[in-house]
Structure formats: C-alpha cells, structure tokens
C-alpha cells in the first residue's frame, strides 16, 4: 500500500507545508489583531475535524485532488498565520502548550484524508497511461485510511479538548 500511496502522501505534505510556510511569514509580518481563542468541547472538535476530513475526501474525488490540495494548503496557511501571530505577540510557549500536543496527530489524519481524496487523480493517471490496477486495492486502502483518520481525529480532538489549552492575554 505504501508504495502506491507514497506519491499522494508527498503531494499532500508539500501542499500543507507550502501553505504553512507562507502563513507563518504572513503572520510574522502582519500586526497581531483579533486573536481570541475559545475553549471548545472535545466532541465539537472531533466533529469539526471529521467535517474537514470529509471535505478533503469528497472534494478530492470530484476534482481529481485539485480542490482538496488547495484546501489543505489553505489549512496550512491558516495554521501558519496563527503560529506567526502568536510567536510575535506572545512567544513560543502558547504554541508549545496549545498547538503541539495535538498538531501532529491531527495533521496526520488530515493528510490521510487528503491522500484518500487524491485516489481519483491516481486512477485517472493510471487510466491515461493504460496501467492496470485493482479496484479492490483502492477499496481496501480507502477503508484503512478512513478508519485510521477517524481514530486519529478522535484522539486529536480529545487531546485538543483536554490538554491543549492556552489563554492569550495582552
């Protein structure tokens, strides 16, 4: 499975990383305004993350990965802007306490959803190159990715709701 999906994973990581880097630069160089974090319930966070994952999957299937890749880059940009703003205005401690405890778990779940969304692009690519593929492999891989993402989103939501807590005061 990893051999087949590795290029899709690299595309997804690259899109998020590009958005994150641009977002950090933008957030770092723009004035800090309107940061007002609020406490969210773990269940709300989990459902929000599942909705984002669903958007990545469905929009990817419909557009051969174009919209899901752009959405992932925008998500990275948004995280980057917040990181840049917080780092300039409050230092790195809120990032360590508020973002990092759940960031990598949630990011991995988002990347798995983005890879799942890129399945249609890979299938179209294989059809264009007249390469054979087994639909059953995509079904099995898709179910494994979806189940893994669901588990990771749940875990990330529990961490974010109970551990990642930061209050920014000016």
pLDDT in tens, 38-64: 667 889 999 999 999 999 999 999 999
Read off the pTM. 0.89
Over residues 85-91, mean pLDDT: 87
- Give pLDDT tens digits for 7-33: 999 999 999 999 999 999 999 887 666
Per-residue pLDDT for 167 more than 60? no
- Both tokens of 79, joined, read 């995280």
Which own/partner contact pairs does 33-41 have at CB distance under 8 Å and 24+ positions apart?
35/82, 35/85, 35/86, 35/89, 35/168, 36/168, 37/98, 37/166, 37/167, 37/168, 39/165, 40/160, 40/161, 41/161
The pLDDT score that the predictor gives to residue 72 is: 96
CB 15 within 8 A of CB 76: yes
User: What sections of 64-134 are H helices per DSSP?
Assistant: 66-90, 93-94, 100-117, 119-128
What number of residues does the chain have? 170
Confidence of residue 119 (pLDDT cuts 50, 70, 90): very high
């Amino acid at each position: 499975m990893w051999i087949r999906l590795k290029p899709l994973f690299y595309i997804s990581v690259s899109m998020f990383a590009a958005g994150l880097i641009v977002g950090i630069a933008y957030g770092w160089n723009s004035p800090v305004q309107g940061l007002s974090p609020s406490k969210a319930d773990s269940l709300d966070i989990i459902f929000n993350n599942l909705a984002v994952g669903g958007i990545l999957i469905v929009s990817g299937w419909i557009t051969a990965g174009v919209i899901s890749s752009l959405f992932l880059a925008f998500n990275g940009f948004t995280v980057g802007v917040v990181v840049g703003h917080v780092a300039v205005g409050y230092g790195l401690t809120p990032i360590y306490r508020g973002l990092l405890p759940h960031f990598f778990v949630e990011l991995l779940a988002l990347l798995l959803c983005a890879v799942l969304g890129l399945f249609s692009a890979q299938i179209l690519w294989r059809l264009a190159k007249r390469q054979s593929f087994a639909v059953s492999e995509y079904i099995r891989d898709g179910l494994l990715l979806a189940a893994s993402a669901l588990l990771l989103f749940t875990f990330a939501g529990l961490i974010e709701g109970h551990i990642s807590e930061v209050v920014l005061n000016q």
